[in-house]
Chains A and B, each alone.
Chain A
């Protein structure tokens, strides 16, 4: 049963990805990308990664869709059709084939002998309750054991905000009266 759910979700993801690449109406593309994020979130839930699923649903399907729609408002919602170019297609196909080939060497999903489960994960799982005392181990890894990495992630978001403010910050200060003339 679970294989059926996995298979249909992954198949749905593939269909949505092809749709994003093939559609020329960018409004439709943004909507399909929102669906893509929602299906990804469902897939993460199936993998028991609820924290990641939560983030994907909130950021990917929610805020990103709104911000992309706002971007379309500034530009255009129709993409010019591009002729099919051979070299990029070959590179993409070769990269995809390499990745598919490489999955053969990956450990089975959930394999306790997989390298990722034998490195620092056992220490986090065994000592988190005693050292940190927080029931959600994801939180204790994210905020305490890997606090330095999360500081970096927060800095990335800060930098993105500063970038937006530098580029479009003037419109933030403008009220309806002084911006309405050009609209």
Chain B
């Protein structure tokens, strides 16, 4: 789609706002609708738009496949690691109360933030990876 100048310009204008909206949904999920799942998908949508307009090879240069594969695992590890921190600090698995020694409510906030970030990272990188795999595959 290299000759579609209107598409290219509009996509370039929209992508920063899509990414910003994804970050808003990610970190505002405690207050309004949203959270890691939705934010991850919206974040991935920006890369999908980039890949559709500028080509899969250009998208691979922005979102490097090796880095993506690491992120798929790291997101889940952040989630499970937050759970393990609960055990290490003397609570139970996924008990966020012990994450802050002064105020259990602050521990809850920290736990939810970390867990949602892990979800967002895994969801976004799985979605981008899936898109790149399907769109980049040539049937033989």
Find out whether the CB atom of A151 lies under 8 angstroms from the CB atom of B83: yes
Find out whether the CB atom of B38 lies under 8 angstroms from the CB atom of A168: no
B140 at the interface (CB under 8 A from A): yes
Q: Within residues 39 to 54 of chain B, which ones have a CB less than 8 A from any CB in chain A?
A: 41-42, 44-45, 48, 52
A82 at the interface (CB under 8 A from B): no
Q: What is the CA–CA distance of A62 and B135 in the complex, to the nearest angstrom?
A: 16
Find out whether the CB atom of A151 lies under 8 angstroms from the CB atom of B79: yes
B16 at the interface (CB under 8 A from A): no
Find out whether the CB atom of A154 lies under 8 angstroms from the CB atom of B122: yes
- How would you classify the secondary structure of chain A's contact residues: helix, strand, loop or mixed? helix
Of B76, B80, B133, the most chain A CB neighbours within 10 A belong to B133
Find out whether the CB atom of A135 lies under 8 angstroms from the CB atom of B31: yes
Q: Within residues 97 to 135 of chain B, which ones have a CB less than 8 A from any CB in chain A?
A: 104-105, 108-109, 111-112, 115-116, 118-119, 122-123, 125-127, 129-135
Q: What is the CA–CA distance of A74 and B60 in the complex, to the nearest angstrom?
A: 19
A11 at the interface (CB under 8 A from B): no
From A20-28, A95-103, A137-145, the one touching the partner chain is: A137-145
Q: Within residues 45 to 72 of chain A, which ones have a CB less than 8 A from any CB in chain B?
A: 50-51, 53-55, 58-59, 62-63, 66-67, 70-71
Q: What is the CA–CA distance of A148 and B79 in the complex, to the nearest angstrom?
A: 10
List A contacts of B137 (CB < 8 A): 74, 168, 171
CB contacts between A and B, total, < 8 Å = 158
Name A176's closest neighbour in chain B (CB-CB): B57
Find out whether the CB atom of B111 lies under 8 angstroms from the CB atom of A144: yes
Q: Choose one: A58, A147, A150, A174; the contact of B136 (CB below 8 Å).
A: A174
List A contacts of B127 (CB < 8 A): 63
List B contacts of A7 (CB < 8 A): none
Find out whether the CB atom of A154 lies under 8 angstroms from the CB atom of B118: yes
Contacts A59-B41, A161-B126; A182 near B138 (Cβ below 8 A): yes
> How many residues of chain A get a CB closer than 8 Å to chain B's CBs?
54
Q: What is the CA–CA distance of A51 and B38 in the complex, to the nearest angstrom?
A: 9
Contacts A70-B134, A154-B119, A165-B133; A63 near B44 (Cβ below 8 A): yes
Find out whether the CB atom of A133 lies under 8 angstroms from the CB atom of B105: yes
Find out whether the CB atom of A161 lies under 8 angstroms from the CB atom of B138: no
Name B96's closest neighbour in chain A (CB-CB): A144
A179 at the interface (CB under 8 A from B): yes
Q: Can you pick out 6 interface pairs between chain A and chain B where the beta carbons lie within 8 Å of each other? A: A55-B37, A143-B112, A143-B116, A158-B76, A161-B122, A168-B133
A-B CB proximity, top 9 nearest: A161-B126, A70-B134, A168-B133, A171-B137, A50-B33, A147-B94, A133-B105, A58-B41, A143-B112
